[in-house]
Chain A
């Protein structure tokens, strides 16, 4: 019995000896979910590795990285969030995203424009103010000189999209790429270019790790740009 217990206790030490070079951990903004997952398919085959993603609000991910989370690459939805991360290796902007209003497929509140969001009784979902999509949404409203009180401030842009999809809110401010990704489940209402705001997406390797650098190169390459374009990002 004692021998078994001892063996069980020592097992994890055996695993320590081996390096685990065949997993790449990428922390990325929630809005990059579809694009990065697509790019990972080819990357995994070419390099024979597994790419593990952690998608979420850029601000939250940055805090996790600073607290020691084991990320190899970080792709953020705002330059400000990337600047808050220690130990990044030369961040580079790889995409730009703008905002759009997302409404449920049947548009129950008849939202046609940004102004409609201020109508009485319209339920709007936004991202939390510190999350990039929330900051940009606030910019849009400031540009349009509108005050919109949301019924909920979600933790990331995908959570806003979900609330719209479920029909729990009448509208949400999300990225154009998110409306694209949701297909038939939501309808996009354009924001006039004059008041719309955009955000730059920087990417950086966090380690002196070949695999990490190769992922960054892939995202910045022509192949990467093509995938980003298809999903609705603008590439610089």
Chain B
């Protein structure tokens, strides 16, 4: 393979376009930092309401990711390995929540699980259980929009995996579940972690489906994005503070992700 020169000059049009892209993506983030009322940050972040919203957000995102892993990894395996007819269609359908406008997702969840919903009405009639306006609903909304991110990431890893190792394990007598647990999953670990992080970040930021399906009640369903929206109506500077907090959490998670990628080797 021919060796490349140590430094390649970027063609000017590419450099200009890239510079504009960087400016466009970074300017809002930098402006956010300047908008924060630094003198009041302590009071804003120390308020009970913010603390509650933050804890709720962390809880719902983590639960949503856990559910996404438990349900999504098997589905990803099915999509990657199954030869059944219609798998392609199934893959397209399970990706829909990813591209659906979140509010539409919320409306869809209400149609299924709302008090008068397809499944919801039976839950209400037989068990007196209603899902909307509960923390469960907030977790469901987050899972609905975020799970496809995990599925697509993990499916890619399963597809690319070296099946020769799995076959070797089979011929040595390992059951299919054992092969899955000891060979397939560990090999897919980087993708699993990346998928889980993407899923968690998407779940943390979920707004449209949450406010439509789960509503907006302090302590139960008012996650951080809803708290920011609420603050925007009366105090944009407080909203900027909360937004910055979310931004810092996201950046921290992204940084953590990179480290994990480095330490996982084949």
Partner-B contacts on A (CB < 8 A): 57, 59-60, 63, 67, 123, 125, 128, 130-131, 150-155, 163, 166-169
Contacts and interface: CB of A to CB of B under 8 A. Distances in A.
B215 A59 contact: no
B188 interface: no
Contacts of A130: 230, 233-234
A163 B216 CA distance: 12
Contact of B217 (A60, A152, A168): A152
Contacts of B232: 60, 63
B116 A167 contact: yes
Given A128-B230, A168-B115, A154 B110 contact: no
B122 interface: no
Given A123-B133, A153-B216, A168 B110 contact: yes
Given A131-B233, A166-B110, A155 B116 contact: no
B232 to A, nearest CB: 6
B61 interface: no
Contacts of B62: none
Interface of B: 110, 114-116, 130, 132-133, 211, 215-218, 220-221, 229-230, 232-234, 236
A144 to B, nearest CB: 21
B127 to A, nearest CB: 14
Given A151-B215, A155-B229, A166 B236 contact: no
Contact of B236 (A57, A67, A128, A131): A67
Contacts of B220: 151
B236 A151 contact: no
B146 to A, nearest CB: 22
A203 B20 CA distance: 42
Contacts of A152: 133, 215-217, 221
Given A128-B216, A153-B215, A155-B233, 9 more contacts: A60-B233, A130-B230, A151-B217, A152-B215, A155-B211, A155-B216, A167-B116, A168-B110, A168-B115
A154 B216 contact: yes
Contacts of A154: 215-216
A60 B217 CA distance: 18
Contacts of A166: 110, 114-116
27 contacts: A57-B233, A59-B233, A59-B234, A60-B233, A63-B233, A63-B234, A63-B236, A123-B130, A125-B215, A128-B230, A130-B234, A151-B133, A151-B217, A151-B220, A152-B133, A152-B215, A152-B221, A153-B215, A153-B216, A153-B217, A154-B216, A155-B211, A155-B216, A155-B229, A163-B215, A166-B110, A167-B114
B194 to A, nearest CB: 34
Contacts of A128: 216, 230, 233
A192 B1 CA distance: 86
A163 B213 CA distance: 10
Contacts of B132: 168
- Leading 5 A-B pairs by shortest Cβ distance: A152-B215, A151-B133, A130-B234, A59-B233, A167-B116
Contacts of B217: 150-153
Contacts of A155: 211, 216, 229, 233
A165 B255 CA distance: 45
B221 to A, nearest CB: 7
